[in-house]
């Protein structure tokens, strides 16, 4: 049984290491992540994760794990910004407000797929133009849903969360551990 991480995210790799899991292979799937017309954030995140886990090439007994993290401001999906201008737009929209961070995790072994959606609440303090511009200059917003990463410099902008910190980072560890055990992956091995 090989363990395949279907993600190129260094954050997910680091979080898996906290569970003592080192992938045998990393195969980031290439799928279209465009939201469907009128698609709501939780169903969108769930659909993308399922598409990812199905797209990864794996042998019948291999365990494949994929995840997707989506930032939702009401019904609006804030994906990965295309440029600094869009990142600034996202940060201005989040400033002084609460939003949801949805991370969907799926594990597949053969034809069996187990999946969980974890929804957390995040409050961003009211941001000044100076704070936004300084953050944009770090480049930390690149490749991040909603244009920020809680574990980076933007952590200074977040006074309150409710839910899973590791889910906000990109892989909720408690739920991931339960999914891996549920699919038959020997997560906690006895020490002899």
Q: Which domain holds residue 40?
A: 3-183
Q: What are phi and psi of 122, to 5 degrees?
A: -135, 135
Known catalytic residues are: 68
- pLDDT above 70 covers what percent of the chain? 98
What's 169's domain CATH number?
Answer: 3.90.950.10
Please check whether residue 192 lies inside any domain of the structure: no
Predicted local confidence at residue 191, as pLDDT: 56
Q: Which two tokens stand for residue 34?
A: 């465009």
Rounded Cα distance, 141 and 150, in Å = 10
Whether 191 is in a domain gets the answer no
Total residue length of the chain: 192
Residue 69 lies in a domain: yes
User: Dihedral angle at the C-alpha atoms of 5, 8, 10, 15, nearest 10 degrees?
Assistant: -30
Determine, yes or no, domain membership for 95.
yes
Residue 188 domain flag: no
pLDDT above 90 covers a percentage of the chain that reads 94
Q: Would you say residue 145 lies in a domain?
A: yes
pLDDT at 65 over 90: yes
**Residue 181 main-chain phi, psi, to 5 deg:** -65, -40
For the segment 77-134, what is each residue's pLDDT rounded down to a tens digit? 999 999 999 999 999 999 999 999 999 999 999 999 999 999 999 999 999 999 999 9
- Please report whether residue 189 resides in a domain: no
* pLDDT given for residue 190 in this prediction: 59
**How many structural domains are present in the chain?**
1
- Secondary structure letter of residue 190 according to DSSP: P
pTM as predicted:
0.93
């Amino acid at each position: 049984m090989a363990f395949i991480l279907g993600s190129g995210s260094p954050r997910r790799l680091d979080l898996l290491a906290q569970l003592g899991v080192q992938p045998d292979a990393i195969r980031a799937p290439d799928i279209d992540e465009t939201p469907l017309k009128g698609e709501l954030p939780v169903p969108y995140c769930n659909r993308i994760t399922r598409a990812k886990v199905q797209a990864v090439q794996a042998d019948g007994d291999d365990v494949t794990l994929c995840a997707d993290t989506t930032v939702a401001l009401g019904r609006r999906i804030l994906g990965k910004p295309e440029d600094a201008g869009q990142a600034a737009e996202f940060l201005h929209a989040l400033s002084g407000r609460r939003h949801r961070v949805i991370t969907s995790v799926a594990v597949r072994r053969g034809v069996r797929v187990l999946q969980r959606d974890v929804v957390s609440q995040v409050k961003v303090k009211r941001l000044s133009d100076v704070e936004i511009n300084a953050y944009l200059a770090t480049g930390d917003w690149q490749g991040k849903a909603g244009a920020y990463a809680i574990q980076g410099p933007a952590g200074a902008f977040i006074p309150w969360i409710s839910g899973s910190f590791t889910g906000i980072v990109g892989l909720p560890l408690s739920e991931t551990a339960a999914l891996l055990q549920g699919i038959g992956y020997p997560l906690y091995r006895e020490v002899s």
